[in-house]
Structure 1
């Protein structure tokens, strides 16, 4: 899974196509709980969108700009535009995240 390490890389990664971004932190227990499912999700959704990760603590300016107030937070992009967001309060389990991934681009 691609790891975003700079604001420029984030902008480049989300500017075209369908991209799902997960904001996380190494100390976050909810992030660690869902982390084992990323390979499964990458395979399952490979034809629909790509998934990348960004460490909120390593990109604090980006986190502030995007109003990432809790983690994990998922943001769905389509051609550079945010189309859906899953806030941390609703991203505590595999089932919650997967339900969001299933619906993010069906609007």
Structure 2
């Protein structure tokens, strides 16, 4: 997940929501999050119009509660501070499902 920019503070998150961005909510212990690791870099490369960020759910549990993100991995898109879409569930996500979500918020 080296292609994703780490969110390290709430200020980082707020600033990043101002641009065309996709946030991946994840955790180190999550096997479904590890499942996307081999192909998330390709998704980032294939969608240069977005900046991609990674948020560790365990470090930002209050933010996740505020955003109603209980399952991971989950993806939320923003542009100009407004949420433009979300792909939030507790189920494992495939490369095609993630790309379909990104295509839906372009």
In structure 2, which of residues 12, 15, 37 is the aligned counterpart of residue 9 of structure 1? 12
* TM superposition shift of 1:23: 0.3
TM-score, normalised with respect to structure 2: 0.88
* CA RMSD across the alignment: 1.4
Q: Which segments of structure 1 move beyond 6 Å, counting only runs of 4 or more?
A: none
The CA deviation at 1:88 is 2.4
Unpaired runs of 5+ residues, structure 2, are none
**TM-score w.r.t. structure 1 length?**
0.88
Residues 91 and 97 of structure 1 are in contact (CA less than 8 Å); yes or no, is this contact kept in structure 2?
A: no
Between Structure 1 and Structure 2, how many residues are aligned? 103
Structure 2 residue matching 1:77: 3-state secondary structure: strand
Is the counterpart of residue 23 in structure 1 residue 22 in structure 2?
Answer: no
Counterparts of residues 45-56 of structure 1 (less than 5 Å): 45-46=47-48, 48-56=49-57
